[in-house]
Amino acid sequence: MQYWINHNGVQTGPVELDAIKEMKLTSKAYVWHEGLSEWVNITQVPELQGVYVVETEQAEAVTGQPYQPVQQPASQPVQPVGQQPMQPEVAEPCPPTNLVWAIITTLLCCLPAGIVAIIYALKVQNKYREGDIEGAKRASEVGAWWCIASIILGILSWPLVSMIQMSAMSS
């Protein structure tokens, strides 16, 4: 998991857990990671217990600098550096998932192509939630093409299936 740290007013991230252990953080540091709606104090993140020192003279001894209280960050999470926002800031709607069409074409037309269409339909919202708008658009478009392929394959195989059924009934 990757973390973003706000310590003494300086934001750092993304940072892996091993790197956090090397940072000499104090209990006044704030942390954000994917899944959190806002910045929280490092003491509230169970997996980070023991990677910081409690704010006292101990902190001064560890950091080599006099203790300076950290102002609490705004209640809204600060945009992590180099990352897409958790929720897109632009009011761009989620591209169509085509999930209903994917399910219908799977049931009525061509099972293998329909399953691929369902997989891409499910990727659309996942990518949108991650902030990958372009990835969501691509997944939507590819899913739509798989729906079309399922319909075409279903239409092309219909005469073949009908002939097989007729020959089975006449035997």
Q: What are phi and psi of 124, to 5 degrees?
A: -55, -55
Buried b (16+ CB within 10 A) or exposed e, 24-60: bbbebbbbbbeeeeebbebeebeebeebbbeeeeebe
Three-state SS at 11: strand
Model-level pTM greater than 0.75? no
Position 43 scores a pLDDT of 83
Q: Is residue 76 part of a domain?
A: no
Does 33 map to a domain? yes
Determine, yes or no, domain membership for 92. Answer: no
Q: Does one domain contain both 57 and 105?
A: no
Is residue 117 a part of any domain in this protein? yes
- Check whether residue 108 and residue 56 sit in a common domain: no
Pair (57, 12) in one structural domain:
yes
Q: What is the pLDDT of residues 106-161, one digit of tens each?
A: 999 989 999 999 999 999 988 888 888 899 999 999 999 999 999 999 999 988 88
pLDDT tens digit string along 64-112?
A: 555 554 554 544 555 555 554 444 444 578 899 999 999 999 999 989 9
Confidence of residue 41 (pLDDT cuts 50, 70, 90): confident
Look at residue 138 in the predicted model and tell me its pLDDT: 95
pLDDT at position 100 is 94
pLDDT of residue 87: 45
pLDDT value at position 32?
84
pLDDT for 97 equals: 93
Residue 87 lies in a domain: no
- Looking at 63, 86, 110, which one is the last position of a domain? 63
Total number of domains constituting the chain:
2
Q: Do 106 and 153 fall into the same domain?
A: yes
The whole domain housing 139 covers: 99-170
DSSP SS3 for 48: helix
Q: Does residue 161 lie within any of the structural domains? A: yes
Q: How far is CA 70 from the centre of its chain?
A: 30
> Is pLDDT above 90 for 42?
no
At residue 64, the pLDDT reads 58
